[in-house]
Amino acid sequence: MDREHKGGSQWVMKPIKLGKSADSFISDSTDFCSKLKNITDPDQIITYDVVDVPIDDTLRLLRRRITETPLETSLSTESIIDLTAACISSTYFTWGDEYYQQIPDLPMGSPLSPILTEIYMTHFEQQALTTSPIQPICWYRKVDDTFVILKQDQDPTLLLQHLN
C-alpha cells in the first residue's frame, strides 16, 4: 500500500495543518529543557494528565479553527468534519477472540488524536488558566500531559478542582 492510501485519517490530516498555537506547547525534550532553563526557583512541581478529551467539543473547536484558517484543500468544512468524525469513531480492536469498538474517547494510535487533542487542549487551557484562582509559575504541555510549577503557598488540589 502506498503512502497516499494508508487510511482515511491520511486524507483528513493533510488539509488540517493548523499548527501548535499554545504558548504551553512542548515539541520535544530539547524544547522542554530550553524552557526550564528560565526557571530559577521551582517550588512545587506537579503534573496533571487529561483523562478524557470530549469528541463533540473537539469537533466543534475543529470546525471553528477550519473556518478561521485557510486550508489548502477543495474539501468543504463539513466534509472535513464528517471525515474526521468517521475516522475517530471507527476504531476497533480485539481482545482474545472478542471484537470491541473504542469509545467514547479519541482512539489511541490514530494520527488524528494528537492533532485533535492539541486543538481541544489549547482552547481548554486558555479558558482554565485565565479564570483560575491560582496562576502557575509555569504551565507546559505535551499533548495531554502537563508540567506545572506552583508557588509553595499555592494548593495544587485547588487548581485541580478548578481544572475539573
Query: Do residues 83 and 63 make contact, with C-beta atoms less than 8 angstroms apart?
Result: no
For the chain, 164 residues long, give each residue's pLDDT as a single digit of tens.
344 434 544 545 444 545 556 778 888 889 888 888 888 777 889 998 888 888 899 999 999 988 888 777 888 889 999 999 988 887 777 889 998 877 777 887 788 888 898 899 999 999 999 999 999 988 998 888 889 999 999 999 999 999 98
In a domain, 19, yes or no: yes
Query: Do residues 160 and 133 make contact, with C-beta atoms less than 8 angstroms apart?
Result: no
Q: Identify the bridge partners of residue 146 per DSSP, sorted by sequence position.
A: 48, 141
In a domain, 11, yes or no: yes
Number of domains in the chain: 1
In a domain, 2, yes or no: no
pLDDT for 72 equals: 79
Model pTM score: 0.76
pLDDT for 75 equals: 86
In a domain, 37, yes or no: yes
Given the DSSP bridges, would you call strands 138-142 and 98-101 parallel, antiparallel or unpaired? unpaired
In a domain, 66, yes or no: yes
What is the domain range of residue 144?
A: 7-163
Rounded Cα gap, residues 139 and 63, in angstroms: 26
In a domain, 1, yes or no: no
